[in-house]
Amino acid sequence: MPDVTTAADRLLLSGNEAVALGALHAGVALGTGYPGTPSTEILEHLSAIGGRAQWAPNEKVALEVAIGAAWAAGRAMATMKHVGLNVAADPFFTVAYTGTVGALIVVSADDPGMASSQNEQDNRRYALAAGVPMLEPADSQEAYDFVREAARLSERWGTPVLVRMTTRLCHSRTVVRPREAEPAPPTHFEHRRRERTMIPAGARPAHGRLRKKLADIAAWGETAPLHRRVDGDPALGIVTSGVAYQHAREAAPEATFLKLGLTYPLPLEAIRTFADGVERCVVVEEGDPYLVEACRTAGIAVEGKPEAYRLGELTVGRVRRMLAGEADARPAHPAGKAPALCPGCPHRSVFEVLRKMDLIVPGDIGCYSLGVLPPYEAMDSLVCMGAAIGMGLGLRHALPEAEARRVVSIIGDSTFVHSGITGLVEMMYNPPPTGHVVLILDNGTTAMTGLQEHPGTGRTLDHRPTGQIVFEDLARALGVPNVHVVDPRTEQDRLEALLAEALAGSEPTVLIARRPCLLAAKKRRHLQRETEG
Amino acid sequence: MPADTVTNVVIAGLGGQGVIKASDILAEAAFRAGHDVKKSELHGMSQRGGAVSSDVRFGPEVASPMVPDGEADVLLVLAEDQLDVFRWRLAEAGTLILPGRVDADALPHRRTLNVALLGVLSACLDLDEAHWLEAIRANLRPRHHRENEQAFRLGREAGTV
């Protein structure tokens, strides 16, 4: 593989790799996050090129760890997919009040079009809601540059900075010219108790400081070198940001462009001047009408897009139709072969049992989400990480007894560590009269995102041994009376018998169906061969 | 920015066939030849045996990372049964490359089909063979270099006929 740490003057990098290299060259001393498509490869790459990167149990913990590092005057980065920021929203909003000393870069990888996600929420709204400055790169070069810029902005104003990526940026490779790396600054601790302890007496002035800071950044942003103007025919002016800029440039090569880099706070006066100087001013943006609404609120007359263009990814063709004022009549294309559980996947054995027993199965997020598809059709819901347990308990509380006894919550090992543990606590604290059954599908890896380690595997991001969370010990420590571990492949009958017994009884039960993912086992053998040389 | 100076290639197939690897090699060959290059695909669910495709664009300057609908100069399909899924991506005068272009029995290994078809592709693109071979070596493990170079040459010969 090409070694990107050498002083090559031109590299071909994915957006994720560019974020990692930008972070390394910005002197980021710690990268932390939770795997989630399309963000996963950022930390993997950071580790591969010699940076310090680690998986946290979930995004909230990751962001808290990064905040601590930034309070120690270090430069830190937390990475996550868009829905991960929902999990991390609590610290995200309030660290905007407390501020930071060192740089705190939060990377949110949104998924317009939902290539691998449960929704297509537009996280630009988070920047506005929390009062956190946001940068939106449009290719790998800008991903590299903007991460370095985020570090500077963050330290200059003592604020977290959101770098908003999208699937297309994360997973596209484009040319990057890196610059000289900066060293990581020395760390130290300074008490700032009033600034960081958000009791109301501290939080009230902190909110005032935040708004002042944002006003200063907005003023600076009006002329910041983060925005790009491309002069063309003044008949059509396009205000845009992110990858939408690339599509628009190709769809309307003759147009005049204002391509925004800092998209919160917005350079509204620069946009106003731009709009005044063109005959027709159109905002081209993917997802929500975030820029359009901000412009209109500021009294800038701009054209937006019809509502249909809000759904899914933009493409050159869609931008062409949008600019031509055409309806979003997307041609229907035949669907390709759908993904399926691998042949020999241990989840298959579990779903065979679940289907046969005709159960009510609140499910969760991972490879096993594919259990909702034929041939199994044995999962009833998928909402968010860890939801299977709480929702299963709610169903048990509400349903008549005969139905309640058919409810089994299924959750994968990495998802269980991420957000399932508090669900088990709830099961013990508010047990339904019929009890409940939680089935942990433990394949020893975070499979769907590409076989990442997690606290249940007992190995770090770079596969070194570390402390291991043992699910059966944890469940017993919480007081769960029935805990069983079963191999779904070799003990399929036993799995069925244990399930039947637990459903008939009225006690909280945790069943752990443990058998390693075949792909993970193969990868582990490969890593072992490499370490042994 | 004159879009007609950009070469658009779409590589498609099923998860596990080396679609992404093939597009990495093509992108790197074009990159080593000094072009502006953009390459795009979606990871995630497609890793589980589903249909997968990757777009590679190169030229003096490339804007969107995705090949616009119906504008692929070349469509390379690794799984023939997925052809109908991806045919719409090909331009009217575009070139279609299917697995039948190489003799499967002559391949050094079944897994080298992707690189063999890159060989066929190489015959219709203006990129030096040296860049292709460097790109193959840079993207594959050393123990797989020989068989893939062999597969590439096999495809390149088939493509030149």
Q: Which residues contact A530 (CB under 8 A, 6 or more apart)?
A: none
A173 with B38: Cβ contact below 8 A: yes
B82 with A337: Cβ contact below 8 A: yes
Q: Give the rounded percent of residues in chain A with a pLDDT score beyond 70.
A: 98
For A346-531, give the CATH class.
alpha beta
- For the cut 50, the answer to whether the pLDDT of residue A354 exceeds it is yes
Number of residues written out for chain B: 161
Label each residue of A410-450 as H, E or C.
EEEHHHHHHHHHHHHHHHHHCCCCCCEEEEEEECCCECCCC
- Distance, in Å, from the CA atom of A371 to the CA atom of A249, rounded to the nearest integer, reads 42
User: Which superfamily, per CATH, for B3-160?
Assistant: Pyruvate-ferredoxin oxidoreductase, PFOR, domain III (3.40.920.10)
CA distance A509 to chain B (A): 31
pLDDT band at A152 (very low <50, low <70, confident <90, very high): very high
Residue of chain B nearest A250, judged by CA positions: B63
For A228-323, give the CATH class.
alpha beta
Average pLDDT for A411-427:
98
Using CB atoms, which residue from A172, A333, A340 is nearest to B65? A172
pLDDT at A338: 82
pLDDT tens digits, one per residue of A337-353: 888 899 899 999 999 99
Q: Which residues of A touch B (CB under 8 A)?
A: 1-2, 10, 12, 37-38, 115-116, 139, 167-168, 171-175, 243, 246-247, 249-250, 253, 315-317, 331, 333-342, 367, 370, 448-450
pLDDT tens digits, one per residue of A272-291: 999 999 999 999 999 999 99
- For the cut 60, the answer to whether the pLDDT of residue A23 exceeds it is yes
Does the beta carbon of B5 lie under 8 angstroms from any beta carbon of chain A?
Answer: no
pLDDT tens digits, one per residue of B126-155: 999 999 999 999 999 999 999 999 999 999
Please check whether residue B37 is in contact with residue B12, taking contact to mean a CB–CB distance below 8 angstroms. no
- Distance, in Å, from the CA atom of A389 to the CA atom of A427, rounded to the nearest integer, reads 8
Average pLDDT for B10-35:
95
What is the average pLDDT value for chain A, to the nearest integer? 95
- For the cut 70, the answer to whether the pLDDT of residue B25 exceeds it is yes
Specify the range with the lowest mean pLDDT, choosing from A203-217, B32-46, B57-71: B32-46
Please indicate whether residue A123 or residue A5 has the higher confidence score (pLDDT): A123
Displacement of CA A521 from its chain's centroid (Å): 26
ipTM computed for the complex = 0.93
pLDDT at B153: 97
Delimit the domains of chain A by residue range: 11-221, 228-323, 346-531
pLDDT tens digits, one per residue of A156-170: 999 999 999 999 999
Average pLDDT for A132-161:
98
A339 with B82: Cβ contact below 8 A: no
Specify the range with the lowest mean pLDDT, choosing from A7-21, A190-204, B52-66: A7-21
Label each residue of chain B as H, E or C.
CCHHHCEEEEEEEECCCCHHHHHHHHHHHHHHCCCEEEEEECCCHHHCCCEEEEEEEEECCCCCCCCCCCCEEEEEECCHHHHHHHHHHEEEEEEEECHHHCCHHHCCCHHHHHHHHHHHHHCCCCCCHHHHHHHHHHHCCHHHHHHHHHHHHHHHHHHHC
pLDDT at B43: 63
Q: Which of A7, A10, A6, A54 is nearest to A29 (CA)?
A: A54
Q: How far is CA A223 from CA A120, A229, A266, in A?
A: 32, 11, 11
Look up residue A377 and give its two tokens. 């059709």
pLDDT at A2: 42
**Look-up: residue for tokens 């601590």?**
A68
Delimit the domains of chain B by residue range: 3-160
A115 with B44: Cβ contact below 8 A: yes
pLDDT at A26: 98
B40 with A316: Cβ contact below 8 A: no
- For the cut 90, the answer to whether the pLDDT of residue A89 exceeds it is yes
Q: Which of A378, A324, A327 is nearest to A350 (CA)?
A: A378
pLDDT at A258: 98
Residue of chain B nearest A2, judged by CA positions: B138
pLDDT at B88: 95
- For the cut 70, the answer to whether the pLDDT of residue A5 exceeds it is no
Average pLDDT for B9-36:
95
pLDDT band at B1 (very low <50, low <70, confident <90, very high): very low
- For the cut 80, the answer to whether the pLDDT of residue A532 exceeds it is no
Please check whether residue A171 is in contact with residue A38, taking contact to mean a CB–CB distance below 8 angstroms. yes
Architecture of domain A11-221: 3-Layer(aba) Sandwich (3.40)
pLDDT at B45: 57
- Distance, in Å, from the CA atom of A417 to the CA atom of A200, rounded to the nearest integer, reads 33
pLDDT tens digits, one per residue of A486-531: 999 999 999 999 999 999 999 999 999 999 999 999 888 888 887 7
Shared fold status for A228-323 and A346-531 = yes
- Residue A200 bridge partners (DSSP): none
Q: Are strands A233-241 and A280-284 parallel, antiparallel or unpaired?
A: parallel
Task: With H, G, I as helix, E, B as strand and everything else as coil, classify residue A341.
Answer: coil
Q: Which of A389, A495, A516 is nearest to A446 (CA)?
A: A516
Q: Which residues contact B107 (CB under 8 A, 6 or more apart)?
A: B113, B116, B151, B154
Does the beta carbon of B54 lie under 8 angstroms from any beta carbon of chain A?
Answer: no
Specify the range with the lowest mean pLDDT, choosing from B44-48, B82-86, B144-148: B44-48
Does the beta carbon of B48 lie under 8 angstroms from any beta carbon of chain A?
Answer: yes
Q: Which of B94, B56, B57, B100 is nearest to B77 (CA)?
A: B100
Number of residues written out for chain A: 533
Q: Give the rounded percent of residues in chain B with a pLDDT score beyond 70.
A: 94
